[in-house]
């Protein structure tokens, strides 16, 4: 398979061959597991109160990719989700909209309609999500389908099998091809399925591989495996986007997905962003949460801050 | 104080409540189970380093008071040492549990009296204090199996003098093994941080510890000197400066007193070009800015491979810019106050000497509070082995950066010091870590980490960093007649 | 002692850096037996001799401490073998030096040879006895191991000129330290002869350095020497011991104070551990990753 022309940036030449790419990825600094996790834990002890908490909750709401990725999804379910994305808190119209709704390709048109005019984006998983085990043509057709239906963002999965087998150029070529299929209208999020990559060294390598190939976002996981987003793997990816920008001038977003359910968790992730990549990423153009139940907890915390009373599940909407 | 490069995400103040601790306006000496005034009634003030607020007035023990305390300890020794180990163990377990119960109170107290961030007293000092008592409690009835022969005997009365940088933790390191082995104790806390030791006296009372087993005499260096020189003290344990350590060694010369010293250091933190860089940056920060660098085993010399020096320093400076200096009681504070005006003056003088000798000084933009004793995190580059700041222990948040080309050179530079307490190695290559670790003349070596402590892990120095080990099975030896 | 032949006297010399120099001061002193019969002239070492010995000991430290424990055991055992071969000489020298009967001197020499064997066996075991893994509460592999302190000044016992000497010297070098020994002042000859055995027993030059002379003259400079890491005061009287301990504080030497020891008894490990440092190394663990326990 011919290698697609790499995007033009300072690291373009590392993809000249499988061996140059391997040398580059394996030349990245190693990750010490204990130190990485300790740093993530330590940042998790930040105490975010009062005004800072209010800011963080609204920011977190605005960063949610409100997600439904079930076999049982229907147009009705997706419309409900879209309505919630546009007006997350039915009792308080000052609540920000979420960043996006995230659905399967066949639901993109429905979602698009549901959020029309709100500024809420529609993201679609594609490339034979979540396993990614299909021929490239099929994956690309999947992407084109979603883009044609109006998807603003494509969440692709990488070929973890190829990655773990050391076929980095194959992974790279696929991302480049998908990026091309996204055209100019859709931003590309590249999902690594960090739980399957297993080691932090692999997550760092995958991050750089994805960014070199043109990812607009790097994303932890599908939400479909045992280990999804964690503070540590997100911290590691934030270090990667920080360092990538320093080296190439290109800013790439980060999306932890799966397993983030509480406001407290979300705020910890925002602290990671603030103290690792920095304030340039404190914006839903550059940071997202792939989540569903998180939104209700954020809303209940928001109500508590506004009223001083603890809220309850009957005061937010069921999905 | 948030970092000056203002972010939209400003952390609101999150102070720990002060009301959890009730500090009396004055404290006496704790002798023979009672609080008592100093003979002659002399007192001194202890202040909060972050605000200069007077926290309390504390009795200043005279030679006569020290003698009373030693007599009380001597009197208590007979019964305490004869107690079955299992019973001594239970007292220590009680103490460990009470410390856990009162840990919030003690953390706030320690932060007030010492100036260190509540994050550290809460997450490091207090958990380690409780763990240390828990660990040595378990030894009390197992000494026959500790490798010092059958039925090893205690020494008698231990005179212990501790520093101000980890007041309660250093108390735990001294008192827990001493009591477990059957000794009784007269302890002198540091002049600037006497309060947590006095609260510990109350914990002894709650635990029902027999009177005289633990005695706390507060005062300055003169009180400490009187304790060390007291003829009826059988064991002297000191943690503090190398200069005072040497004076103590001279004092006990020619006596039968057993001596252990835990003194200064000038720890080398060696970063190889294959290091896990992001974790190394964290380790460097933890190594020199933990407790404002007022740590005997601080990684105060960064020795970095020249090929990655620029990259590492850029990353380090970026990281330092995120450090939050300010109110030690704020849960988001990373850097608290320097412990005393005297210490601040010393740090300032040494940092100025570094500048005068031509090293390049850098600190992140950082506003210092108007009251209290503060020093911004400081980095010196272009430092060589010949610079004062590469040789003298600064005991403050000041890092000297040196470089090396080969592993041999790294080891040579790391060892080129009168001290030998700690060192760090950062590399992803296991064989290099093991080789370098074996060549370093230091009592504690951290590979791909720094400033980690555990009650099971022996701690202590080579060369002028002192002798004897605290912690672990090794720590028993200092208190046994073996 | 035959009248038929005039015997050849031995010129006793110092042992420094594997060589046998005279004292740089050119001085000697008379050594007699307990009944005041002249035995030999021994070098009267100066402070400069002591300084040279420290330089030699420091130079030898890297190689000796870096040798494998097995190798050090082999070398110490070799000393015992060589001594056994020269047993008669040492029996005579000890008998003369300490005024012992032949049979008592023989017992002393045998005990000294056996002491080398005892310590030869310790070289590769002491680390297992006093070191080990520490079960810290965190994702770390933590190991404590003993390491030699460095250059150790040894004031050999005054009365037990050979067994006492061996009993204080062997544990110092067994663990990888190097030694500067001041022999018994009044009975230095067995120590100086031991040097000849060490020199032919694969003990690297500089690992053991033996000086004869007045402890009161040369010990203070060793005690104050900044490049000496430890001092064994076995052969010092109370007054000298105190003076030396005070001087030793200048660079915080490890000090083993004089104590009453019955050298005929099997020793414990106290003299081995007196000149050992404990190094504790922490290694991070947990790199199994996402499917591992710590992820």
Convert chain B into a string of H (helix), E (strand) and C (coil): CCCCCCCCCCCCCCECCHHHCCCCCEECEEECCEEECCCCCCEEEEECCCCCCEEEEEECCCHHHHHHHHHHHHHHHHHHHHCCHHHHHHHHHHHHHHHHHCHHHHHHHHHHHHCCCHHHHHHHHHHHHHHHHHHHHHHCCCHHHCCCCCCCCECCEEEEECCCCCHHHHHHHHHHHHHHCCCEEEEECCCCCCHHHHHHHHHHHHHCCCCCCEEECCCCHHHHHHHHHCCCCCEEEEECCHHHHHHHHHHHCCCCCEEEEECCCCCEEEECCCCCHHHHHHHHHHHHHHHHHCCCCCCCEEEEEHHHHHHHHHHHHHHHCCCCECCCCECCCCECCCCCHHHHHHHHHHHHHHHHCCCEEECCCCCCCCCCCCCCCEEEECCCCCCHHHHCCCCCCEEEEEEECCHHHHHHHHHCCCCCCEEEEECCCHHHHHHHHHHCCCCEEEECCCCCCCCCCCECCCHHHEECCECCCHHHHCCECC
Tens of pLDDT, residues A28-64: 999 999 999 999 999 999 999 999 999 999 999 999 9
Chain C contact present for A198, CB below 8 A = yes
B409 to chain A, closest Cα gap in Å: 22
For residue B463, give the nearest of B436, B442, B439 by alpha carbon.
B442
Please give the Cα distance from A79 to A28 (Å, whole number): 44
Residues of B within 8 A of A49 (CB-CB) are: 11-14
CATH ID of B268-447, from 3.40.309.10, 3.40.50.300, 3.40.50.720, 3.40.605.10: 3.40.309.10
C107 to chain B, closest Cα gap in Å: 28
B408 to chain C, closest Cα gap in Å: 13
Q: Which residues are within 8 A (CB) of C136 and not within 5 positions of it... i.e. 6 or more apart? A: B452, B454, B456, B457, C142, C282
Of the candidates C252, C257, C281, the beta carbon closest to that of B464 is on C252
Measured on CA atoms in the order A199, A201, A202, A207, is the torsion positive or negative? positive
CB within 8 Å: B9 and A279: yes
- Give the domain ranges of chain B: 18-263+463-477, 268-447
Chain C contact present for A216, CB below 8 A = no
Average pLDDT, chain C: 95
DSSP assignment, residue A151?
A: -
CB within 8 Å: A29 and B14: no
Topology adopted by domain B18-263+463-477: Aldehyde Dehydrogenase; Chain A, domain 1 (3.40.605)
At residue C4 the predicted structure's pLDDT band, cuts being 50, 70 and 90, is confident
Taking any CB pair shorter than 8 Å as contact, residues of chain A touching chain B are 29-32, 34-36, 38-39, 45-53, 55-56, 59, 239, 270-271, 274-275, 278-279, 282
Please give the Cα distance from C210 to A250 (Å, whole number): 71
Residue A49 designated active-site: no
Greatest pairwise CA separation for chain C in angstroms: 91
Tens of pLDDT, residues B30-55: 999 999 999 999 999 999 999 999 99
pLDDT over 90, % of chain C = 95
pLDDT for A7 equals 60
Q: Which residues pair with C231 in a beta bridge?
A: C153, C255
CA B15 to chain centre: 24
Q: Which residues pair with A153 in a beta bridge?
A: A123, A187
Of the candidates C138, C229, C252, the beta carbon closest to that of B454 is on C138
Residues of C within 8 A of B249 (CB-CB) are: 245, 248-249, 252
Contact A111, A76 (CB under 8 A): no
| Chain C interface test: which of B287, B439, B457, B466 (most C C-beta within 10 Å) | B457
Q: Mean pLDDT across the stretch C57-82?
A: 98
Chain C contact present for A291, CB below 8 A = no
B200's tokens: 């510990």
pLDDT over 90, % of chain B = 98
- pLDDT at C292 exceeding the cut of 70: no
pLDDT for B8 equals 80
Count each helix (H run) and each strand (E run) in chain A, helices first. Answer: 13, 8
A198's tokens: 């297993």
pLDDT for C1 equals 52
Sheet containing B466-467: which strands, arranged edge to edge? B34-36, B29-31, B214-216, B184-188, B157-161, B235-239, B258-262, B466-467
Tens of pLDDT, residues A261-282: 999 999 999 999 999 999 999 9
B93's tokens: 């377990």
> Which range marks the domain in which residue C171 is found?
28-284
A183 to chain B, closest Cα gap in Å: 33
Neighbour subunits, B (≥3 Cβ pairs < 8 A): A, C
Please give the Cα distance from B169 to B449 (Å, whole number): 21
Residue B262 designated active-site: yes
At residue B7 the predicted structure's pLDDT band, cuts being 50, 70 and 90, is low
Tokens 């100036």 belong to: B115
Please check whether residue A201 lies inside any domain of the structure. yes
Nearest CA in chain B to A51: B12
CB within 8 Å: B459 and C280: yes
Which of A2-11, B142-151, B295-304, C228-237 shows the lowest mean pLDDT across its residues? A2-11
Please give the Cα distance from A136 to A142 (Å, whole number): 10
In total, chain A counts a number of residues equal to: 319
Tens of pLDDT, residues B319-362: 999 999 999 999 999 999 999 999 999 999 999 999 999 999 99
Burial (CB count within 10 angstroms: exposed 0-12, middle 13-18, buried 19+), residue A171: buried
Phi, psi (deg, nearest 5) at residue B220: -100, -155
CA B55 to chain centre: 21
- pLDDT at B5 exceeding the cut of 60: no
Which residue among B110, B191, B296, B470 is the active-site one?
A: B296
For residue C257, give the nearest of C275, C242, C270, C277 by alpha carbon.
C242
Q: Which residues are within 8 A (CB) of A71 and not within 5 positions of it... i.e. 6 or more apart? A: none
Q: Which residues are within 8 A (CB) of B435 and not within 5 positions of it... i.e. 6 or more apart? A: B407
Omega cis (within 30) before B416: no
C-alpha angle A62-A67-A70 in degrees, rounded to nearest 5: 175
Tens of pLDDT, residues C119-142: 999 999 999 999 999 999 999 999
Residues of B within 8 A of A31 (CB-CB) are: 276, 278-279
- pLDDT at C48 exceeding the cut of 90: yes
pLDDT for A107 equals 98
Nearest CA in chain B to C246: B250
Please check whether residue A9 lies inside any domain of the structure. no
Contact A121, A188 (CB under 8 A): no
B479's tokens: 């208190």
pLDDT for C289 equals 59
pLDDT for C294 equals 41
3-state secondary structure of A220: coil
Please check whether residue C228 lies inside any domain of the structure. yes
pLDDT for A10 equals 79
At residue C287 the predicted structure's pLDDT band, cuts being 50, 70 and 90, is low
CATH number of the domain where residue A139 is located: 3.20.20.70
Please give the Cα distance from A80 to B350 (Å, whole number): 66
Q: What is the pTM assigned to this prediction?
A: 0.96
Please give the Cα distance from A286 to A216 (Å, whole number): 9
Contact C286, C133 (CB under 8 A): no
Q: Mean pLDDT across the stretch B178-198?
A: 98
Sheet containing A187-191: which strands, arranged edge to edge? A253-255, A217-219, A187-191, A153-157, A121-126, A100-103, A64-67, A289-291
Tens of pLDDT, residues A199-252: 999 999 999 999 999 999 999 999 999 999 999 999 999 999 999 999 999 999
Average pLDDT, chain B: 97
Please give the Cα distance from A260 to A273 (Å, whole number): 15
Which residue among A255, A265, A268, A297 is the active-site one?
A: A255
Q: Mean pLDDT across the stretch C81-110?
A: 98
For residue B379, give the nearest of B280, B312, B440, B295 by alpha carbon.
B312
Please give the Cα distance from B95 to B176 (Å, whole number): 10
Could you give the number of structural domains in chain C?
1
Please give the Cα distance from B421 to B445 (Å, whole number): 9
Please give the Cα distance from C136 to B456 (Å, whole number): 6
Tokens 């409100």 belong to: A66
Please give the Cα distance from C79 to B45 (Å, whole number): 64
Measured on CA atoms in the order B310, B316, B319, B323, is the torsion positive or negative? negative
Which residue among A219, A265, A268, A297 is the active-site one?
A: A219
Please check whether residue C12 lies inside any domain of the structure. no
> Which range marks the domain in which residue A109 is found?
31-315
Q: Do B268-447 and B18-263+463-477 fall under one CATH topology?
A: no
Which of A5-9, C84-88, C253-257 shows the lowest mean pLDDT across its residues? A5-9
pLDDT for B457 equals 98
CB within 8 Å: A197 and C286: no
Nearest CA in chain C to B425: C283
Please give the Cα distance from C279 to B415 (Å, whole number): 14
- pLDDT at A173 exceeding the cut of 90: yes
pLDDT for A8 equals 65
For residue A229, give the nearest of A71, A8, A40, A21 by alpha carbon.
A40
DSSP assignment, residue A126?
A: E
Burial (CB count within 10 angstroms: exposed 0-12, middle 13-18, buried 19+), residue B115: buried
DSSP assignment, residue A257?
A: B
DSSP assignment, residue C25?
A: T
CATH number of the domain where residue C113 is located: 3.40.605.10
Please check whether residue C130 lies inside any domain of the structure. yes
Could you give the number of structural domains in chain A?
1
Distances from the Cα of A20 to the Cα of A163, A201, A210, B428, angstroms: 15, 18, 16, 21
Tokens 């109500």 belong to: A303
A195 to chain C, closest Cα gap in Å: 5
Q: How far apart are the first and last CA of chain C?
A: 83
At residue C295 the predicted structure's pLDDT band, cuts being 50, 70 and 90, is very low
Residues of B within 8 A of C245 (CB-CB) are: 249-250, 253-254
Which residue among B110, B191, B262, B393 is the active-site one?
A: B262
- pLDDT at B59 exceeding the cut of 70: yes
Measured on CA atoms in the order A126, A128, A129, A131, is the torsion positive or negative? negative
Residue A159 designated active-site: no
Chain C contact present for A32, CB below 8 A = yes
């Amino acid at each position: 398979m011919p290698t697609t022309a790499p995007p033009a940036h300072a690291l373009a030449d590392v993809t000249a061959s499988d061996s140059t790419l391997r040398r580059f990825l394996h030349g990245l600094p190693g990750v010490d597991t204990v130190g990485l996790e300790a740093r993530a834990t330590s940042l998790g002890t930040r105490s975010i109160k009062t005004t800072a908490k209010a800011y963080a909750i609204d920011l977190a709401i605005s960063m949610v990719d409100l997600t439904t990725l079930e076999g049982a999804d229907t147009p009705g379910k997706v419309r409900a989700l879209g309505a919630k994305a546009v007006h997350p808190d039915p009792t308080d119209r000052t609540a920000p909209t979420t960043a996006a709704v995230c659905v399967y390709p066949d639901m993109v048109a429905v979602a698009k309609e549901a959020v029309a005019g709100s500024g809420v984006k529609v993201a679609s998983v594609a490339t034979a999500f979540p396993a990614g085990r299909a021929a490239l043509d099929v994956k690309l057709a999947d992407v084109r389908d979603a883009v044609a239906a109006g998807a603003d963002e494509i969440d692709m999965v990488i070929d973890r099998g190829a990655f773990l087998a050391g076929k980095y150029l194959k992974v790279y070529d696929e991302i480049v091809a998908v990026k091309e299929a996204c055209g100019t209208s859709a931003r590309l999020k590249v999902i690594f399925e960090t739980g399957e990559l297993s080691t932090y060294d692999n997550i760092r390598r995958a991050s750089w591989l994805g960014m070199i190939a043109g990812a607009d976002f790097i994303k932890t996981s599908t939400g479909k495996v045992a280990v999804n987003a964690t503070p540590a793997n997100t911290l590691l990816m934030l270090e990667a986007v920080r360092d990538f920008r320093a080296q190439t001038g290109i800013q790439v977003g980060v999306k932890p997905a799966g397993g983030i359910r509480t406001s407290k968790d979300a705020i910890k992730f925002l602290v990671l962003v603030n103290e690792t990549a920095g304030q340039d990423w404190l914006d839903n153009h550059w940071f997202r949460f792939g989540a569903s139940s998180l939104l209700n907890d954020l809303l209940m915390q928001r109500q508590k801050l506004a009223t001083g009373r603890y809220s309850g599940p009957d005061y937010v909407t069921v999905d | 104080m948030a970092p000056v490069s203002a972010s939209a995400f400003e952390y609101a103040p999150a102070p720990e409540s002060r009301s959890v601790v009730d500090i009396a306006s004055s404290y006496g000496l704790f002798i023979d189970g009672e609080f008592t005034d100093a003979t002659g009634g002399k007192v001194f003030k202890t202040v909060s380093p972050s605000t200069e607020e007077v926290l309390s007035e504390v009795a200043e023990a005279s030679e006569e008071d020290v003698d009373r305390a030693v007599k009380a300890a001597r009197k208590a020794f007979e019964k305490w040492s004869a107690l079955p180990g299992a019973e001594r163990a239970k007292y220590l377990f009680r103490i460990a549990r009470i410390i856990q119960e009162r840990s919030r109170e003690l953390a706030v107290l320690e932060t007030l009296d010492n100036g260190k961030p509540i994050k550290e007293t809460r997450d490091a000092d207090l958990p380690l204090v409780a763990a240390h008592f828990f660990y040595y409690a378990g030894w009390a009835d197992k000494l026959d199996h500790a490798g010092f022969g059958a039925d090893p005997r205690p020494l008698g009365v231990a005179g212990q003098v501790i520093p101000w940088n980890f007041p309660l933790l250093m108390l735990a390191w001294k008192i827990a093994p001493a009591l477990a082995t059957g000794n009784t104790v007269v302890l002198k806390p540091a002049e600037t941080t006497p309060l947590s030791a006095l609260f510990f006296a109350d914990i002894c009372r709650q635990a029902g510890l027999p009177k005289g087993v633990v005695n706390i005499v507060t005062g300055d260096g003169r009180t400490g000197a009187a304790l060390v020189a007291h003829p009826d003290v059988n064991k002297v344990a000191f943690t503090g400066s190398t200069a005072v350590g040497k004076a103590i060694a001279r004092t006990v010369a020619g006596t039968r007193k057993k001596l252990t010293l835990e003194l200064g250091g000038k720890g080398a933190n060696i970063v190889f070009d294959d290091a896990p860089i992001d974790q190394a940056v964290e380790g460097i920060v933890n190594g020199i800015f933990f407790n404002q660098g007022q740590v005997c085993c601080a990684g105060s010399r960064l020795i970095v491979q020249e090929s990655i020096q620029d990259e590492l320093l850029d990353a380090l400076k970026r990281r330092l810019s995120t450090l939050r200096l300010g109110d030690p009681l704020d849960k988001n504070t990373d850097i608290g106050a320097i412990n005393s005006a005297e210490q601040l003056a010393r740090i300032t003088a040494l940092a100025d000497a570094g500048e005068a000798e031509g090293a390049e000084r850098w600190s992140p933009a950082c506003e210092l509070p108007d009251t209290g004793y503060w020093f911004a995190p400081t980095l010196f580059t272009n430092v060589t082995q010949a610079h004062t700041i590469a040789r003298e222990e600064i005991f403050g948040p000041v890092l000297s950066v040196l470089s090396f080309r080969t592993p041999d050179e790294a080891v040579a530079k790391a060892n080129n010091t009168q001290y030998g307490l700690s060192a760090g190695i950062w590399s992803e290559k296991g064989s290099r870590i093991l080789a370098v670790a074996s060549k370093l003349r230091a009592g504690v070596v951290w590979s791909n980490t720094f400033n980690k402590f555990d009650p099971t892990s022996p701690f202590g120095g080579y060369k002028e960093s002192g002798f004897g080990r605290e912690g672990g099975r090794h720590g028993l030896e200092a208190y046994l007649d073996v | 002692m035959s009248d038929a032949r005039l015997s050849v006297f031995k010129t006793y010399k110092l042992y420094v850096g594997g060589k046998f120099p005279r004292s740089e001061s050119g001085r000697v002193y008379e050594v007699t037996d307990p009944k005041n019969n002249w035995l030999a002239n021994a070098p009267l070492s100066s402070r400069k001799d002591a300084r040279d010995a420290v330089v030699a000991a420091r130079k030898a430290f890297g190689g000796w401490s870096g040798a494998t424990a097995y190798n050090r055991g082999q070398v110490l055992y070799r000393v015992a073998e060589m001594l056994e071969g020269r047993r008669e000489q040492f029996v005579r020298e000890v008998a003369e030096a300490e005024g012992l009967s032949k049979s008592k001197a023989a017992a002393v020499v045998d005990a000294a040879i056996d002491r080398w064997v005892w310590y030869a066996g310790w070289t590769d075991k002491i680390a297992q006895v006093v070191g080990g893994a520490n079960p810290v509460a965190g994702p770390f592999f933590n190991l404590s191991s003993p390491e030699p302190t460095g250059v150790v000044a040894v004031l050999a016992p005054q009365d037990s000129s050979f067994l006492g000497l061996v009993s204080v010297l062997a544990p110092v070098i067994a663990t990888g330290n190097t030694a500067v020994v001041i022999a018994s002042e009044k009975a230095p000859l067995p120590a100086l002869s031991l040097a000849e055995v060490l020199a032919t027993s694969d003990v690297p030059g500089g690992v053991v350095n033996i000086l004869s002379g007045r402890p009161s003259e040369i010990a203070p400079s060793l005690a104050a020497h900044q490049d000496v890491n430890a001092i064994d005061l076995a052969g010092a009287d109370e007054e000298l011991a105190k003076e030396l301990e005070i001087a030793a504080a200048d660079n915080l030497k490890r000090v083993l104070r004089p104590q009453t020891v019955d050298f005929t008894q099997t020793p414990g490990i106290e003299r081995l551990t007196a000149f050992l440092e404990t190094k504790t190394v922490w290694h991070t663990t947990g790199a199994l990753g996402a499917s591992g326990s710590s992820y």
